[in-house]
Structure 1
Amino acid sequence: MDRPSGTSYQRFPRVRIRELKDDYAKFELRDTDASMANALRRVMIAEVPTVAIDLVEIEVNSSVLNDEFIAHRLGLIPLTSAAAMQMRFSRDCDACDGDGSCEYCSVEFHLSVHATDSDQTLEVTSNDLRSMDPKVCPVDQARAYQHALGGTDPFGANASNENRGILIVKLRRGQELRLRAIARKGIGKDHAKWSPAATVTFMYEPDIRINEELMETLTVEERISLIESSPTKVFELDSANQVNLFSLVVVKNAEAYTYDDEVIKHAEAIGKPGLVEITAKEDSFVFTVETTGAITAYELIMNAITVLRQKLDAVRLQDDDGDLGELGAHLGGP
């Protein structure tokens, strides 16, 4: 419904969780528009803080990889970051004058491995990292510990394979790697190693309607061909409900539809335009979220909403102070 010109319009977005695991979530975002949905997606990818190794001091490295290569691999190891929201950014920390080396803004790691076996190649993995703060450690270490205590394995994979850790480098006899690393709080906008999201996607929720009168004029073969024209298997025959001894064509999985228009084109090709009508609900979105393991999917969603609210509050406060001028008038209404 169109709102009168010059009046403000306030919406109250709603979130409904459909599926939730440690590293996966599927949820609905309703009663809002695409700009808000995309803002939430971008915040989840680039604005939710995590902890990652940011400084590496190599003491001994006689491996085949140079220091920069190893430092880069260490930075990409996901670390448990449930406490990241409460940590300080190193640039804003007044306890250490911004050098990022105190308990409020950093976590120290140590690694010391020396290969002595002449017959075996020694794999140095994330399991060899020793954290000075038990709340922040490599994700695979935390999962192995949880599995050892009898908890569920988030990956549901073979435990022996999971416990190997993330490979950093391989050493032969006589080679050694010894280093000190500092992990700091950051966001994906600064570097991808701080992004907690492996995948964040959203789509408009499709509204699929079948013209039952036209459907009754189709033969069984035409109904089957209509179902097969959908490459993502959106429709199926419902043998439990029949009209004129023919099984009804029903929507099996509306969200499998990819807006390819193949079903609509097929309906037109068999002389039945209007048989299927598909539109996008412009105020309803379905999100799929996968995390790196640094934080759970639930924490990612909730932290993203918190960060987005803080950003909107900052805009509103600037508008209240009159700093936004004409733009603020458009954002806040009369």
Structure 2
Amino acid sequence: MAPIQPSQDSLDRRKLVGINAETVTNITSTDFPGHHAGEDNSWSLDKFKQNLKIIFHQNQTHDAVFSLVGVDASIANAFRRILLAEVPTLAIEKVYVQNNTSVIADEVLAHRLGLVPLKGDVEGMKKLVPFIETDADSDSKLTQRTDVNTFVLSLIVRCERNPSADKNATEPEDKYINSSVYSGHFKFIPEGIQKERFDEVPIGPVSDKILLAKLRPGQEIDIITHAHMGKGGDHAKFSPVATATYRLLPTITITRPILGDDAYKFQKCFPDGVIALERVTAAESEGSAEINDPAYYGRQGDEKAVVADVMRDTVSRECLRHDEFKGKVKLGRVQDHFIFSVESTGQFPSDDLFLQSVDILKKKAKRLLKALDEIEK
């Protein structure tokens, strides 16, 4: 029996999740991504390359928004989980308190220090290796603190009275020196090869204005910290992203013209920028335009609703709650079009983080193939 060849209209409908007033339709996935009974859905690398698209909408250092098109939800979610938990980053792991006379307990202060995001030379960071703490004696570089797995940062701050302060001053910042301890007080102490790799961009906090503690005259903090590479799956402080989310691309199809006051009301049902208002042209009013719809006859100059930017839509369904729009609009979401939003904590650029997640997924796939080969043997 020859394979079934579905029509293009059927293929387009298959990709859409239907958004109704009270229900969501066409959400059932197939047993295998992209497989449908009776059809020839054999996987092809050329076909996959043709369908795969990555479109950047915003690409700033700490914030990237892009569309990933042509993959299954399982793949998109794998990238999200890898971004959150498996891309290795640097964070303070060991805190050696030599003196702390502030009101903050040692363990609380240590926890705050661990959550300070660190940055450094990007290429130098990628050459680091993890540090594995073990009680057993070992000559492995992974179990010994070296210049490729450990960074030393000191935090030495003492609060004193400001001799030049105005006698009527009331603010601690004016009365005292170092009344607040900020992340900018960290000092990087390079060792070995670190002096060369991190000469231009030394290891330090992403922001110098992160408040760590408050001090008063006579109080001081004297701490040495060790920073190691780790993964977000072990602790949230190692997660390289503040947020890593995706959503399906919304679709808004106006099936019948929405004109006049209804057009204004329809526009208010969506976030700003989703729906625009245009004038009905003379050609549309006379029925001589490419789209000949009787609803336009005699309505020249009236406002009509048109879809301007579906990416701004949040699929609120508000328009489906009004009787005047029934049968005039269809809402949906594209099943294989994922809009990713990746916000970096500052250690790596957002787009670079996504590339690292792709590399990690590739290594996982290779390990799986190797394990399958060993099973067959």
TM-score by length of 2: 0.71
- The secondary structure found in structure 2 opposite 1:314 is helix
Pick from 213, 227, 231: which aligns with 1:187?
Answer: 231
Distance in 2 (CA, whole Å) between partners of 1:167 and 1:228 is: 42
| Offset, 1:100 | 4.9
Q: Does 1:282 align with 2:335?
A: yes
The SS at the match of 2:117 is coil
Which one is further off, 18-27 or 106-115? Answer: 106-115
Determine whether 1:248 maps to 2:282: no
Change (3 A) 1:5 1:210: closer
The equivalent residue for 1:149 is none
Trace 1:132-147 onto structure 2 (pairs within 5 A): 132-133=189-190, 134=198, 135-140=202-207
Q: Aligned to 1:238, which of 272, 275, 278?
A: 278
Give the Cα separation in 2 of the matches to 1:37 and 1:241.
Answer: 43
- 1:313 Cα deviation from its structure 2 partner: 1.8
Pairwise CA distance, 1:232 = 5.7
- Given residue 314 of structure 2, which amino acid in structure 1 is its aligned partner? T
Q: Which residue of 2 aligns with 1:27?
A: 66
Instruction: Quote the offset at 1:264 in angstroms.
Output: 3.0
* 1:318 matched residue in structure 2: 371
Q: In the alignment, is residue 224 of structure 1 matched against residue 267 of structure 2?
A: no
Deviates more, 1:245-254 or 1:280-289: 245-254
Structure 2 CA distance for aligned equivalents of residues 21 and 240 of structure 1: 39
Label 1:73 to 1:238 Cα distance change in 2 as closer, same or farther (>3 A). Answer: same
Bigger Cα displacement from structure 2, 230-239 vs 130-139: 230-239
Q: Alpha-carbon deviation of 1:22?
A: 0.9
Measured in 1, the distance between the counterparts of 2:328 and 2:102 equals: 66
Counterpart amino acid of residue 109 in structure 2: I
Residue 70 of structure 1 aligns with which residue?
109
Which residue number in structure 1 is paired with residue 159 of structure 2? Answer: 115
Deviations 1:290-318 (A, max 9, x none): 11112111221111111122112222221
Instruction: Quote the offset at 1:108 in angstroms.
Output: 0.9
**Deviation, structure 1 residue 274:** 3.0
| Matching residue of 1:144 | none
TM-score under structure 1 length normalisation: 0.80
Distance 2:38 2:375 in 1: 25
CA shift in 2, pair 1:6/1:219, >3 Å? closer
Letter in 1 for 2:232: G
Q: Deviations over 1:243-292 (max 9, x none)?
A: 431233111220122223222333xx12x533112222111111111111
Q: CA deviation at 1:20?
A: 0.6
Aligned position for 1:9: 43
Alpha-carbon distance, 1:240 to partner: 8.0
Contact 1:241 1:248 in 2 (8 A): no
Q: CA contact under 8 A between 2:129 and 2:148: conserved in structure 1? A: yes
Q: What amino acid maps onto 1:254 in structure 2?
A: V
Aligned-pair CA distance for 1:234: 2.3
Q: Are positions 1:85 and 2:129 aligned together?
A: no
The count of corresponding residues between Structure 1 and Structure 2 is 294
Map of 1:331 onto structure 2: none
Cα RMSD of the aligned pairs, angstroms, is: 2.6
Match of 1:150?
none
Q: Which residue of 1 aligns with 2:183?
A: 126
Aligned partners of 1:7 and 1:321: how far apart in 2? 28
Measured in 2, the distance between the counterparts of 1:47 and 1:197 equals 11
Structure 2 counterpart of 1:204, which letter? Answer: L
Inter-CA distance 234–7: structure 2 relative to 1 (3 Å threshold): closer
Percentage of pairs with the same residue: 28
User: Aligned ranges for residues 159-198 of structure 1 at < 5 Å?
Assistant: 165-198=209-242
8 Å contact from structure 1 (residues 70, 168) kept in 2: yes
Gapped regions of structure 1 (runs ≥ 5): 141-163, 326-334
Distance in 2 (alpha carbons) for counterparts of 1:241 and 1:168: 63
Shift of 1:320: 2.2
Structure 2 Cα separation of the partners of residues 254 and 35 of structure 1: 24
Task: Find 1:291's aligned residue among 344, 349, 354.
Answer: 344
CA contact (8 A) 1:110 1:179 kept: yes
Task: Please say if residues 273 and 312 of structure 2, whose CA atoms lie closer than 8 Å, have aligned partners that are also in contact.
Answer: yes
Partner Cα distance (1:172, 1:56) in 2: 22
Q: 2: distance between equivalents of 1:181 and 1:96? A: 22
Distance 1:284 1:168 in 2: 42
Q: Out of 83, 92, 117, which is 1:44 matched to?
A: 83
Cα distance, 1:317–1:99 mapped onto 2, change above 3 Å: closer
The structure 2 residue matched to 1:257, chosen from 301, 306, 313, is 313
